[in-house]
Amino acid sequence: MTTALPPTVNPKDRSFLGEARVAERARLAEDVRALIDAVVLTDVPDDEVAAVAEQVRALTARLNATRLPAPPMADTPLDGLPASGMSMQLGNPVSGVLNPVAPPVPFEALPDGTVRSVFTLDDVYEGPPGLVHGGVSAAIFDQVLGMTAGLSGVPGFTATLELRYRRPTPLRVPLTLRAEITRREGRKSWAEGTITGPDGKVTIEATAMFVTPRHLMPEQTA
Amino acid sequence: MTTALPPTVNPKDRSFLGEARVAERARLAEDVRALIDAVVLTDVPDDEVAAVAEQVRALTARLNATRLPAPPMADTPLDGLPASGMSMQLGNPVSGVLNPVAPPVPFEALPDGTVRSVFTLDDVYEGPPGLVHGGVSAAIFDQVLGMTAGLSGVPGFTATLELRYRRPTPLRVPLTLRAEITRREGRKSWAEGTITGPDGKVTIEATAMFVTPRHLMPEQTA
């Protein structure tokens, strides 16, 4: 099986990490997520803020002692996804378990061909008070709809993304994103999705169109 | 002048920070951004990753010694913006200087009524290899178009957001988002914007519609 990395990935520039190394680093990323939350909400005195900042700089220096040339990839794709740049990106800002800015949003390919992601967003992702930032929801849709369109094994780039915000999306409660591929036509595929709150009501609907680069299209069988 | 906080802000729940306190905390957030970059790109051995993680947890505990009930707000709005929840949100995940997940994206209201944001995104925001994550761009558009629509002083919620990705958006180079209000009709306002790379070519176009809650509309003068 050929790993369908996107055309601009130079595999020589990328490290492919095995499960054990991912686990240790995922723990660190999770700890930094808690630190981010503390930075946003801390009310300790200024001198304590400055003292913590100094320690943060020291930890950054320790991690930077040896650096990768680019964000690492997993040596196996996410469950249910074919091997691709998208399914193996550990540093992805939406789904990457090694990226502290990512919630991270999980991805579950269901037997019926649809997709489900269940996630909870906290104060770090606040837009209107007590509500999820509309742009954060947009970022999550882009990622999950793109992975949904990629279920066939053919990666594509986002061409259009349209979001319709129906009602406010709450923070701190489980949200469910459901998505499916609705159409394919040559190099184009369309995916649709919704985010639903705990009350079962749809808060946001989204449609996206993805285009597969010509040279990544599967060859026609004669 | 009345500070036009969004309807769901309970001012009693929010701390309003002055310039000096913001500056100290902004320095910490900046240091944590460098830490996030190091977490994504580090290649130090697993035992060093674990040792750093332990230190991160200790720093988190120090910051959590005293916590705010909700992300803080600035006591003065961003330059060029009327006072509102949006212009004073220090913890905003796109523009908030106190939120380490925010690049943060700045906002500049020009004399001609248009808006300019210039920012650079690094590996932490990578989607396709070497390129900006399409969802991150979407989040930035949502924020900046929303602030543009709010220039009149009337805050609104995102109702629709449409993005057209014309060409890849590069990482690690200055990007310019230009935006303007294109139409107002009752409680609705439309804003449009583009992101341009250093070569002057538009990489993404976006249109958004915002709706102002009825009770926040300015009263009609008789």
pLDDT at position A146 over 50: yes
Predicted TM-score of the model (pTM): 0.93
Contact state of B71 with A27 under an 8 Å Cβ cutoff: no
For A95, list phi and psi in degrees, rounded to 5.
-110, -5
How is residue A217 written in tokens?
């299209």
Model pLDDT, residue B158: 92
pLDDT at position A173 over 80: yes
Model pLDDT, residue B38: 98
Q: Which residues of chain A are within 8 Å of residue B46 when distances are taken between CB atoms?
A: 20-21, 24
B138: Cα separation from own chain's centroid: 11
The residue count for chain A: 222
CB A48 within 8 A of CB A55: no
3-state helix, strand, coil in chain A (%, to 5): 30, 25, 40
Q: Indicate the SS3 state at residue B42.
A: strand
Contact state of A70 with B128 under an 8 Å Cβ cutoff: no
For B151, list phi and psi in degrees, rounded to 5.
-60, -30
Q: Is there a cis peptide before residue B104, judged by omega within 30 degrees of 0?
A: yes
B182: amino acid identity, one letter: T
pLDDT digits (tens, 9 = 90+) for A99-128: 999 999 999 889 888 999 999 999 999 998
pLDDT at position A7 over 60: no
Model pLDDT, residue A10: 62
β-pairing, A202-211 vs A188-196, is antiparallel
Model pLDDT, residue B195: 98
Measured between CB atoms, does B136 come within 8 Å of chain A? yes
Q: Which residues of chain A are within 8 Å of residue B161 when distances are taken between CB atoms?
A: 134, 138, 161-163, 165
Q: Could you read off the pLDDT tens digit of each residue along chain B, which spans 222 residues?
A: 334 455 455 666 788 898 889 999 999 999 999 999 999 999 999 999 999 999 999 999 999 999 999 999 988 876 666 766 667 889 999 999 999 999 999 998 898 889 999 999 999 999 988 999 999 999 999 999 999 988 876 778 899 999 999 999 999 999 999 999 999 998 999 999 999 999 999 999 999 999 988 877 766 543
Contact state of A163 with B160 under an 8 Å Cβ cutoff: yes
* Distance between CA atoms of residues B206 and B80, nearest Å: 22
B77 CA: distance to closest CA in chain A (Å): 16
For B23-174, strand residue ranges (E) read 73-74, 108-109, 115-119, 157-165
When scoring A17, A22, A119, A161 by the number of chain B Cβ atoms within 10 A, the one with the most, hence best to mutate, is A161
Model pLDDT, residue A205: 98
CB-nearest partner of B142 from A91, A135, A162: A135
CB-nearest partner of B44 from A63, A128, A130: A63
Residue B127's closest CA among B116, B139, B112, B142? Answer: B139
pLDDT, chain A, mean: 89
* Distance between CA atoms of residues A3 and A152, nearest Å: 13
Model pLDDT, residue A23: 93
pLDDT-derived band of residue A18, with 50, 70 and 90 as boundaries? Answer: confident
Interface of A with B in 47-66 (CB under 8 A): 48-53, 55-57, 59-60, 62-66
